[in-house]
Amino acid sequence: MQDTDTLAPGEARSGRDELAPVTPDFSAYIIAGAVSSDPDKFQRETEGRTPAQGIADGVDAERLGFRRVFISERWDLKQADVILAGIGALTTRLELVTGVIVPTTRHPWNVAALGATMQSCFGPRFVLGLGRGENGAFRGMGIEMTQFKAMVDSARITRRIWAGESVAYSGQLGEFDALQAHEAYHGPQPPIWFAGFCHAKGAAAVAEAFDGVILPPMITPDATAAAAGRIRQACERIDRDPASIRIVQPVVTAPDMDEFEARSISTGRLVTYLQYPYYGDVLAKANGWDLDVVQKMREHPQLTSAPRMGDLTFHRHQMVEGPGSVIPWSWVLDCSAIGTSSECVRSLQRFIDAGADEVTTYGSTPRQNAKLIEAWRERPEAVRG
């Protein structure tokens, strides 16, 4: 462990911890999905991770050369602020991304304070990722799904607070007459990214107020290309350079994994996405998948007999043979990177060719992708670049 008392934000480590070179177009999601507080609950590395293991995964990511880590929070054991701060304290160059937080779950002052505090503590390597959330996750919790206008409002309000301005506002995010930080952060403002499918309204919001995009995992290269095209058109309509928006595509990666683990983090995860009628339908339509097949999966007895939604009742690996058997394997292969490291590189390159600027691993740990990131750096496209 590094001695954090002797390192300023952004300062290099000592030679005792050799770091691989940063790979500019390759990052990692850590502890994707549900987490546990019990490190002995699961047998396999991808079956479950604790928040503490998530922090260790972040340290591994820096050592292996990943550019940044993303974490999508859950309101139980996965508060993004806390875990990213733990990673930030143990790293020096790794970029730290909330991927994502939902504006309607925090007061705007708190959102701005998060970014300013992260930059103040760890140097200019924080990225604020915002998303609208999902209706099913908020039902019964008294939280509204964030409207697109409020997403734009959130980005603008946050930047104004960082700039030391006083903000008056009335809308979905609240009502206040003079919202202002008493102690402004004086360094560079963090980028603000939008997470979503970037259909017409989302692409317009991105062009209007955001610096980057985090597309959903489990979409195909064709869906990536369609989203990139919509973003480009939205930028051109307001005379903004589309190249000013960085597009990141998360992809489930299972390099050199046994079949059980590979199917658990891909097919099992896809079941958890498709089971929700709203999100599942949007995902299937984006990928051009047959909704009749999706509905057949939802009607599998294992899901219809469960007291709650499948992902709240079963672990991913428990749904591979049941409802997961209904999902065509070709669907999974098209939106994932599974096989040898070389095969995974070829699968990932499809998303870069489709218009993504960066890919990020999803569902597996940075350590499980150690050989893959080496192969990614050595691929012919990287050498030419």
Mean pLDDT value across the chain: 92
Q: pLDDT above 70 covers what percent of the chain? A: 93
- Tokens 């919509």 sit on residue: 230
CB 46 within 8 A of CB 363: yes
Residues of the chain above pLDDT 90, percent:
80
Q: Are residues 210 and 268 in the same domain?
A: no
Residue 47 shares a structural domain with residue 149: yes
Q: Pairing between strand 174-179 and 192-195? A: unpaired
Q: Which residues of 128-160 are buried (b: 16+ CB within 10 A; e: fewer)?
A: bbbbbbeeebbeeeeeebbbbebbbbbbebbbb
Per-residue confidence (pLDDT) for residue 137, from 0 to 100: 60
- Would you place residue 186 in the very low, low, confident or very high pLDDT band (cuts 50, 70, 90)? confident
Residue-by-residue DSSP string for 149-217: HHHHHHHHHHHHHHTT--EEEEETTEEEEEE--SS---SPPPPEEEES---HHHHHHHHHH-SEEEPPS
Gap between the Cα atoms of 174 and 169, Å rounded: 7
Q: Do 193 and 140 fall within a single domain?
A: yes
- The reply to whether 17 and 52 lie within a common domain is yes
State the Cα–Cα distance between residues 116 and 120, nearest whole angstrom: 6
Q: Using alpha carbons, select from 142, 135, 167, 137 the residue that is nearest to residue 154.
A: 167
**Nearest CA to 113 among 100, 96, 128, 132?**
128
**Dihedral sign for Cα atoms in the order 317, 323, 325, 331:** negative
Range of the domain at 118: 4-253+340-384
167 and 186 housed in the same domain: yes
Residue 44: the pLDDT is 79
Chain segment 223-265, per-residue pLDDT in tens = 999 999 999 999 999 999 999 999 999 999 999 999 999 999 9
CA distance 349 to 298: 32
**What pLDDT was estimated at residue 349?**
98
Q: Domain holding 23: CATH number? A: 3.20.20.30
Whether residues 174 and 248 share a domain: the answer is yes
What angle, rounded to 10 degrees, do the helices at 221-237 and 200-209 form? Answer: 50
277 and 220 part of one domain: no
Same domain, 189 and 61: yes
Tell me which of 41 and 353 has the higher pLDDT.
Answer: 353
Q: Which of 318, 336, 354 is the last residue of a domain?
A: 336
- pLDDT band at residue 39 using 50, 70 and 90 as cut-offs: confident
pLDDT at 114 over 80: yes
Mean pLDDT for 278-291 is 97
Domain match, 279 and 138 both: no
CB contact at 8 A, 30 and 366: yes
> Does residue 370 register a pLDDT over 70?
yes
> Looking at this protein, which amino acid is placed at residue 35?
V
User: Has residue 13 got a pLDDT over 70?
Assistant: no
Sign of the four-CA dihedral 85, 60, 98, 23: positive
- Nearest-angstrom CA–CA distance, 253 and 178: 46
Does residue 298 surpass a pLDDT of 90?
Answer: yes
Question: Cβ(308)–Cβ(361) under 8 Å?
Answer: no
Strand partners, 129: 193
CA-based radius of gyration for the chain: 20
Judge whether residue 7 has pLDDT over 70: no
> Which DSSP string corresponds to 291-360?
HHHHHHHHTSHHHHTSSS-HHHHS-GGGSTTTGGGGS-HHHHHHTEEEESHHHHHHHHHHHHHTT-SEEE
193-204 tens-digit pLDDT: 999 999 999 999
pTM greater than 0.75: yes
Of 24-28, 131-135, 287-291, least confident by mean pLDDT is 131-135
| pLDDT for the residue 22 | 97
CB 28 within 8 A of CB 95: no
**Sign of the CA dihedral running 87, 89, 91, 93:** positive
How many domains does the chain contain in total?
2
Residues 274, 232 share a domain: no
pLDDT digit string, tens, across residues 299-339: 999 999 988 888 778 888 889 999 999 999 999 999 999 99
Query: What confidence score (pLDDT) does residue 9 get?
Result: 41
pLDDT (0 to 100) of residue 309: 84
Is the same domain home to 221 and 270? no
Q: Are 72 and 114 in contact (CB under 8 A)?
A: no
Residue 4 clears pLDDT 90, i.e. is over it: no
The 10s digit of each residue's pLDDT in 229-240 is 999 999 999 999
pLDDT for position 385: 58
Q: Are residues 240 and 295 in the same domain?
A: no
